[in-house]
Amino acid sequence: MESEILVKQRQVVLPGDVMAKGIDYLPGSGCYRDGDEVKSKLLGLVKLKDRFLGVVPFSGIYNPRSGDGIIATVTDLQNAFWILNINSPYDAILQISEGVEEFVDLKRTDITRYFDVGDVIYVKVLNVAKSKSITLTMNDHRAKKLIGGMTLKFTPSKVPRLIGKQGSMIELIKKRTGCQIIVGQNGIVWLKGDDVSKAIEVIRMIEKEAHTSGLTDRVTEFLGGKDVPEEEISDCECDEECDCTEEENCGCLDEKVEENTEGGDVHE
């Protein structure tokens, strides 16, 4: 049986669209096998890598994975842990031992001195159990409490686009607006600065046009033209959305995103 691929890289597919025929192509994320065919289960863009087919959705909720750097809000306190909202269907737990480095005598200490209800923190996902009980950790060089500023919600599947290749897009926004911006992989964006409204406007524009090409140019234009030499901002030839280098090729979204977030760290 001859195997045949029926879609192109970055083509728009709908749930149920046949992406490939034959057993030589394998369904990755966002696809499933139906007999002899590989079909899409989401509305999104095709991502091809060797024999693997994938779909990057246009929308959807954040599905936590261990190692993700996210922005979470404390919603509840327990004796020895905090419960946080991580913009997913499941709440997450931050144990004292994972959240605080020093020794804490629980009998004498009020743990609100570390984190209180309403605090926003940049935190790393430690583990996601199969039952979706999620534990977090502050044991990461980027993890910290975010004081002041504001948060906004962004489409989680479009976060790589907001960060850009090697953090280029977010660096551009930070440079031009002078805001501190941190992007969590759960789609929560934290902003602080004088010109926050301009930054929000750009972020909303990116969200709206994330599936189009040449976005970086439009963003540059929106932020007042090209006056800084920006070689690193040029669009990746292979696939803008996955923000990877040519050698590594596309389809490596999951591994690369984490690295990208580093670029999303606070701009000093």
Partner 1 sequence: MSKVGAPEKLIIDGKRLDGRGLEDFRKMDADVHVLKHAQGSGMFSFGATKSVVGVFGPRTFHPRRLQKPKEATLRCKYFMAPFSTEDRIRPGHSRRGTEISKVITEAFSSVVIVEGFPKSGIDVFIDIVQASASTRCAGINAAAIALADAGVEMKDLISSVAVGKVDDTIVLDVGKAEDNYGQVDFAVSTIGGSDKFVHMQMDGVVSREEFSKMLSLAVKGCKQVYEKQKEVLRKKYGGESNE
Which residues are within 8 A (CB) of 154 and not within 5 positions of it... i.e. 6 or more apart?
162, 183, 187, 188, 189, 203, 207
Give one word for 30, left, alpha or beta, with left for phi > 0 and alpha for psi -120 to 50: left
What is the rounded distance in angstroms from the CA atom of residue 225 to the CA atom of residue 38?
A: 44
Measured from the Cβ of residue 108, the count of other Cβ atoms closer than 10 Å reads: 6
Question: By C-alpha distance, which of 13, 44, 47, 16 is closest to 32?
Answer: 16
Rounded to a whole number of angstroms, the minimum distance from the CB of residue 35 to partner 1 is 12
Binders of partner 1 in range 89-128 (CB under 8 A): 89-91
Pick one of 58, 178, 238, 266: the residue that binds partner 1 (CB under 8 A).
58
Pick one of 14, 23, 117, 228: the residue that binds partner 1 (CB under 8 A).
14
Residue 210 tokens read as 């994330």
Rounded to a whole number of angstroms, the minimum distance from the CB of residue 61 to partner 1 is 6
Regarding 33 and contact with partner 1 (CB under 8 A), the answer is no
Rounded to a whole number of angstroms, the minimum distance from the CB of residue 32 to partner 1 is 7
Pick one of 2, 35, 108, 131: the residue that binds partner 1 (CB under 8 A).
131
Rounded to a whole number of angstroms, the minimum distance from the CB of residue 84 to partner 1 is 14
Pick one of 6, 12, 152, 252: the residue that binds partner 1 (CB under 8 A).
12
Check: CB of residue 215 under 8 Å from CB of residue 161.
yes
Pick one of 76, 80, 117, 132: the residue that binds partner 1 (CB under 8 A).
132
Regarding 52 and contact with partner 1 (CB under 8 A), the answer is no
Regarding 83 and contact with partner 1 (CB under 8 A), the answer is no
Regarding 224 and contact with partner 1 (CB under 8 A), the answer is no
Q: Which range binds partner 1 by CB under 8 A, 31-39, 69-77, 108-116, 197-205?
A: 31-39
Which residues are within 8 A (CB) of 125 and not within 5 positions of it... i.e. 6 or more apart?
64, 65, 66, 67, 68, 69, 70, 86, 92, 134, 135, 136, 137
What is the rounded distance in angstroms from the CA atom of residue 208 to the CA atom of residue 223?
A: 16
Residue 141 tokens read as 């060089």
Check: CB of residue 241 under 8 Å from CB of residue 251.
no
Using the structure block, give the residue that is written with the tokens 């024999």: 51
Regarding 158 and contact with partner 1 (CB under 8 A), the answer is no
Rounded to a whole number of angstroms, the minimum distance from the CB of residue 43 to partner 1 is 5
Rounded to a whole number of angstroms, the minimum distance from the CB of residue 78 to partner 1 is 18
Q: Which residues bind partner 1 (CB under 8 A)?
A: 8-12, 14-16, 30, 32, 34, 39, 41-44, 57-61, 63, 89-91, 130-132, 157, 211-213
